[in-house]
Structure 1
Amino acid sequence: MDMAKQTAAGALKPHSSHWGAFRAGWQGDTLVVEPHPADPDPSPILGNFAAALRHKARIARPMVRRGWLERGPGPDSARGRDEFVPVSWQKALDLLAGELARVRDAHGPRAIFGGSYGWSSAGRFHHAQSQVHRFLNVALGGYVRSVNSYSAGASAVIIPHILGNYEEMTKHNVTWEQIVEHTGLCLSFGGMAVKNSAVASGGVSRHIERGSMKAAAERGCRFVLIGPLRDDLPEEARAEWLTITPGTDTAMMLGMAHTLVAEGLHDRAFLASRCTGWEKFEPYLTGQADGQPKDAAWAAAICGIPAETIAQLARDAAATRTLISMAHSLQRAEHGEQPVWMAIVLAAMLGQLGLPGGGYNYALGAIAHYGRRFNAVPVASLPQGRNGVPDFIPVARISDLLLNPGQPFDYNGQKLTYPDIRLVYWAGGNPFHHHQDLARLRRAFAQVDTLVVHETSWTATAKHADIVLPCTMTLEREDIGGQTTDPLLIAMHRLAEPYAEARDDYSIFADLAERLGKREEFTEGRDARGWLRHLYERTRAALAERGDPAPSFEEFWALGELALPQNPDDGGPLRAFHNDPEGEPLSTPSGKVEIFSETIAGFGYDDCPGHPAWLAPQEAPAAERPLWLVANQPWTRLHSQLDFGGTSADSKRRGREVMRIHPRDAEARGIAEGDIVRLFNARGACLASAALSEVVSPGVVQLATGAWYDPADPAEDNPLCVHGNPNVLTRDAGTSRLAQGCTGQLTTLEVEKFTGNLPPIRAWDPPAEG
């Protein structure tokens, strides 16, 4: 009996996604999706599922690129331009196992890059990143890995130097409960957009951010948004909006810090007892070191906010319980480490680090994990085994890796070397969404012998692959959804039959492991349901040890969800440090807040000195590219996932992504509402539909990421993207030699009305077969 007939009576089964728990079932041939009934602010992204399940973009069967099939492995500029040949599963797996063995035996596992990104599924077992890494470790002895994330590439490296453990300082610090009760002033640099907090790796059962800001504002908390986009805080926050020149937040913070010192408002006792390096930073701030005081007037000339506004905001921050929040977006730019560091220093100067609802919380609102209590019991995940290859790259350096084998690079005080990669295995993720300068990425992927991709749909990454293996969507398999800060564990029931010949990643890897003589080691004798029982047992045993209800796996599966106990809201290590700096030191080298870092200073990086500083960007508006582009996260999908789904597709106009532009800038260029426009700079160009909006600052245009890359002529080296992918425009360079993080949030460009014949949209079409 098929799934549609099983649920025809209207019964809804539980499932979960990164953008929320939900229930779904079939009414005739229609998939009905309803948010979890306890969710006060469900995400509209749930609307992408129904149309996506059987969309033409789905991959129906294993495919091999014709050039690879005929000529064998090797560098090939035809990737992304070639047709594909359908093959049987047996042939595809035989070919792939043979190629994996060839690369392993000829070059070693150091020649294999395990590319993946962790957003493919909310399930803890069918998590493509864990699956591919486990397979490469068990079956091949390891792989070259990536570290950090595109979202937090700079902050994840610098925060441990300055404040302590990154996870603790983001997840286990200030909560929304504290903000509702205690915060008097929230300075939100870059905002806390609810489109971002709609998402949480592993799922979320209740979206509380909008309601929390509403409750705090009604109590009297004052929210101030510092950023170029007014809707980066919801209306419920009743926020004041200060429009800032993109990328200049560090200068503004320095101007505030100077005011605190000049007016004697900084907490000298806190700086003396809980910080190190103030005596080295203060001369820079006051200008004693370089002759330039970093006062409010100096900052105003850089950031575009009046000097008196900057100074008054500093006074206001010193007069109440103040929380400084900083979005991921600020550090996804040149010198992205600096605003992270300076925001910590500003909070330290106020003496409020660790206080309830005060101090500093990096990326609060950037993801739904943050600002919540931790569960008192673990949520298990698939063990990945031991990686025998020590080599790694910062995740945003994939093009550098493939284009520069054997070349040195700097990272966090280390001098490393890019390995010579012959095979890239990508399962989960779409680098033609996440990565910058897509023309350069195409050249990079042309260098390898073989690119293997597991995918549900024909993304641009799949179209550039040599071997493409069709995978199930989350709705087509069973799993367990959960996260360390969400109090519901979800039994993710299967809601649809697999599309065409699609298979679960696990079954694909199990059969590949068998061909390589490692099936038993990979599966440990378990099928998928056996693994779910095994992973659930860790949570069940912990519940039983606490004396809490601990249902069996079968009982949990029948219930559909399980409430998990949570720990008290204790403020984590930063609260403990505030209360007892000697007995509860931070995990920094000094055990204190590092205003000046001897470690970082010792690295000798001119693009990341030993204390926070204003470093002017290399890329700034110029005559030929006078506008800033903010390439931020979309409202209508998670990254590029299900771009062809209902909510995402309905948000486009004339089939293209929507770019927002201030009416003044549009008028100067003869652009009207709804016009198709061309965005361009020296790196590339794309088309989008123009929306005139005063939500966007003058001098700024905003185009969300995630529209699938759609080259007008794939045969060209740097073709026009007709669909609206901003990463044809963004710069592929690291934040600094310290972190080598992604700088894709900001770039500069020009916009003009497009007057030629409109090219067709083919982003979601399967490639040619032959």
Structure 2
Amino acid sequence: MTESISKKPSPDFREGTSVTHWGVVKTTVVDGKISKIEPIPEDRRPSPNLKALAELPYAPSRIRYPMVRESYLKEGIASRDRRGEDKWIRVSWEEALDLIASELKRVYSEYGPSAIFGQSYGWKSPGTVNSASTLQRRLLSLSGGYVSGVNSYSTAAIGTILPYVVGTGDPQSTDWNVVLKNSERVVLWGADPIVTNDIDWSTTLHNYFPYLEKLKTSGIKTIDINPVRTETGEFLSSEWIAPKPGTDCALMLGMMYELESSGKSDKNFLKNCTSGFEVFRDYLLGKSDGIPKSPEWASEITGITADKIRLLTHELADNRTMIMMGWGIQRIQYGEQPHWMAFTLASMLGQIGLPGGGVGTNYHYSSGGCPFHVGPMIGGLAPRVEPVPPRLKPWKGSAYIPVMRFADCFLNPGKTIEHNGKRLTYPDIRMVMWTGGNPFAHQPETNRLLSAWKKPETIVVTDCFMTATARHADIVLPAQTVFEHSDICPIGTYTNDGIAANHAMIAPIGESRSDDQI
């Protein structure tokens, strides 16, 4: 339990804990303004972003007041082509909320709940009370329902395919203590833990880092497979193997061909613990398509020499090996294949279930692989509740769409797509409620998104900052940063290290409100 670090408050000086995605910190306020942010002693590797966090509430891009596009105020929904071009008009909270409530009532009445897209990627406040995504979805559930986005940009492909492969979309990684005791080779495949473990969906103590320090001095050889040299690879002095981007499957196929042709594939494991290897083997050896997936074949695609592919294969087969896969390699077309292939490779090596062997898919995030603490966990509000008002219009189309397909949905209402073994029909979205996220920064094909963003009749964005997404809204509402409201937060998504109190340290900037108030 992380308690408040406080001195007797005075008008010009106070200290307290704040909870951020980059860690639990001690915040010092002088004359009503944040003067310093420091890590708490328990933080194993304080984030390099703490100085920037101290400046965050005062950023020039801060949204200080409710605002509405000028043309939207004058012409309403007929002005949507001017999103991103209009100047903003400051309005009162009452006027802004009345506009939004009026639009919600109109869209529900004329089109029904399937015309409202309630999306939030939610990376603003990590607290459970002011969770932007949870609160907005709860609001829309209570209002009559909404279309949601499913999956995430981080793990959409791996989270969809792995339940069919190993029974769960996010397998628990082998404990770091077991790795350090038993592994002889550690492969960082598309993973850079020092960079990506800096944040957590909740908050973090960065527990992973002492294990990396031990790995560095352990004598265990590490191999960094990545098109670019990673910070973790540099820190560990790892051997660097740099395939061309997007060719990970070809590299693994070349390795598996070598395992099979050299007689080193673990036939007992494949027979007793897997299903379908015979079909895969015919593909691997070229019997089903006439193309043997040899190291030479893989070399042409990956840019790694055939000799190097063979050497790597035998090194992993001859030593207890833990393959640590990152998520970046599945953020491509056919992104379900790389991690599916990784578990196939680990199965052919036959080390899954052996101490320090096999494959893990979350060592690079939220201190995955660190021990999980048994203790109380904070529950949160349910994002979906039964709608209170009756549905005035029947539902049209699917109740959800894949998170990355919302632009396609806006542009093509009524279109049917295949998703995870089902057929989905795009609803006709008339109103968008977005909070705590910035799809203009992470959605691919930005120009296509820009076209799609002009299709809905009304777009409302709640945020702390005037992001690109907010600039292309009709109505923007100013949300508080974590330094302006109190909250409570679990520490460690994968580790359950405790519970942290977040204290309101400064007065709200402008007329900003907490997500709960909004």
Counterpart of 1:59 in structure 2 is: 63
- Residue aligned with 1:166, SS: coil
Per-residue deviation, 1:311: 0.8
Counterpart of 1:68 in structure 2 is: 72
CA distance in 1, matches of 2:247, 2:163: 23
Counterpart of 2:456 in structure 1 is: 448
Aligned residues of 2:62 and 2:465 also touching (Cα < 8 A): yes
Counterpart of 1:689 in structure 2 is: none
- Residue aligned with 1:34, SS: strand
Aligned residues of 2:80 and 2:458 also touching (Cα < 8 A): no
Aligned residues of 1:185 and 1:223 also touching (Cα < 8 A): yes
- Taking the TM superposition and a 5 Å limit, the aligned residue runs for 1:437-516 are 437-482=445-490, 483-484=492-493, 485-508=495-518
- Residue aligned with 1:39, SS: coil
Aligned residues of 1:112 and 1:422 also touching (Cα < 8 A): yes
Counterpart of 1:286 in structure 2 is: 285
Aligned residues of 2:64 and 2:509 also touching (Cα < 8 A): yes
TM-score normalised according to structure 2 size: 0.93
Identity of aligned residues (%): 38
Is residue 300 from structure 1 mapped to residue 295 from structure 2 by the alignment? no
Change (3 A) 1:380 1:165: same
Change (3 A) 1:176 1:75: farther
Amino acid at match of 1:373: P
CA distance in 2, matches of 1:334, 1:57: 34
Counterpart of 1:370 in structure 2 is: 368
Counterpart of 1:203 in structure 2 is: 203
- Residue aligned with 1:219, SS: coil
Is residue 428 from structure 1 mapped to residue 431 from structure 2 by the alignment? no
Per-residue deviation, 1:356: 2.8
Amino acid at match of 2:27: A
Amino acid at match of 1:368: S
1:13 is aligned, of 9, 12, 16, to: 16
Change (3 A) 1:229 1:80: same
- Structure 1's consecutive aligned runs of 4 or more residues displaced over 6 angstroms after TM superposition are none
Aligned residues of 1:77 and 1:443 also touching (Cα < 8 A): no
**Structure 2: 5+ residue stretches without partners:** 1-5, 388-394
Change (3 A) 1:4 1:101: farther
- Residues 532-559 of structure 1: CA distance to partner in whole angstroms, max 9, x if unpaired? xxxxxxxxxxxxxxxxxxxxxxxxxxxx
CA distance in 2, matches of 1:385, 1:38: 36
Which deviates further from its counterpart, 387-396 or 422-431?
387-396
Counterpart of 1:270 in structure 2 is: 269
- Residue aligned with 2:414, SS: coil
CA distance in 2, matches of 1:7, 1:272: 71
- Taking the TM superposition and a 5 Å limit, the aligned residue runs for 1:716-727 are none
- Residue aligned with 1:76, SS: helix
- Taking the TM superposition and a 5 Å limit, the aligned residue runs for 1:365-444 are 365=364, 367-376=365-374, 377-386=376-385, 391-444=399-452
- Residues 323-381 of structure 1: CA distance to partner in whole angstroms, max 9, x if unpaired? 1122111011122111111100000111111233220111421x124212333232212
- Residues 709-738 of structure 1: CA distance to partner in whole angstroms, max 9, x if unpaired? xxxxxxxxxxxxxxxxxxxxxxxxxxxxxx
- Residue aligned with 2:82, SS: coil
CA distance in 2, matches of 1:387, 1:253: 47
- Residue aligned with 1:73, SS: helix
Q: Kindly report the root-mean-square deviation, in angstroms, between the aligned alpha carbons of the 2 structures.
A: 1.9
TM-score normalised according to structure 1 size: 0.63
CA distance in 2, matches of 1:427, 1:101: 19
CA distance in 2, matches of 1:221, 1:33: 37
Counterpart of 2:152 in structure 1 is: 149
- Residue aligned with 1:80, SS: coil
- Residues 384-410 of structure 1: CA distance to partner in whole angstroms, max 9, x if unpaired? 233667611110112101111111111
- The structure whose RCO (Cα within 8 Å, separation 6+) is larger is 2
1:118 is aligned, of 112, 115, 122, to: 122
Per-residue deviation, 1:9: 7.1
CA distance in 2, matches of 1:118, 1:503: 16
Aligned residues of 1:7 and 1:27 also touching (Cα < 8 A): no
- Taking the TM superposition and a 5 Å limit, the aligned residue runs for 1:177-196 are 177-196=177-196
CA distance in 2, matches of 1:191, 1:96: 43
- Residues 264-316 of structure 1: CA distance to partner in whole angstroms, max 9, x if unpaired? 11111111111000010001111122222111111111101111111111111
CA distance in 2, matches of 1:27, 1:355: 55
- Residue aligned with 1:385, SS: coil
Counterpart of 1:359 in structure 2 is: 358
Per-residue deviation, 1:78: 0.5
- Residue aligned with 1:229, SS: coil
Per-residue deviation, 1:165: 1.3
Per-residue deviation, 1:8: 6.4
Counterpart of 2:237 in structure 1 is: 238
CA distance in 1, matches of 2:116, 2:58: 33
Amino acid at match of 2:460: V
- Residues 107-166 of structure 1: CA distance to partner in whole angstroms, max 9, x if unpaired? 11110000100311111111100010111111x221100111111111111111111111
- Residue aligned with 1:77, SS: helix
Is residue 162 from structure 1 mapped to residue 162 from structure 2 by the alignment? no
Counterpart of 1:224 in structure 2 is: 223
Counterpart of 2:3 in structure 1 is: none
- Residues 194-238 of structure 1: CA distance to partner in whole angstroms, max 9, x if unpaired? 111111111012x13343123123222111111111125243322
Aligned residues of 1:4 and 1:496 also touching (Cα < 8 A): no
Aligned residues of 2:21 and 2:202 also touching (Cα < 8 A): yes
Amino acid at match of 1:18: H
Amino acid at match of 2:189: F
- Residue aligned with 2:405, SS: helix
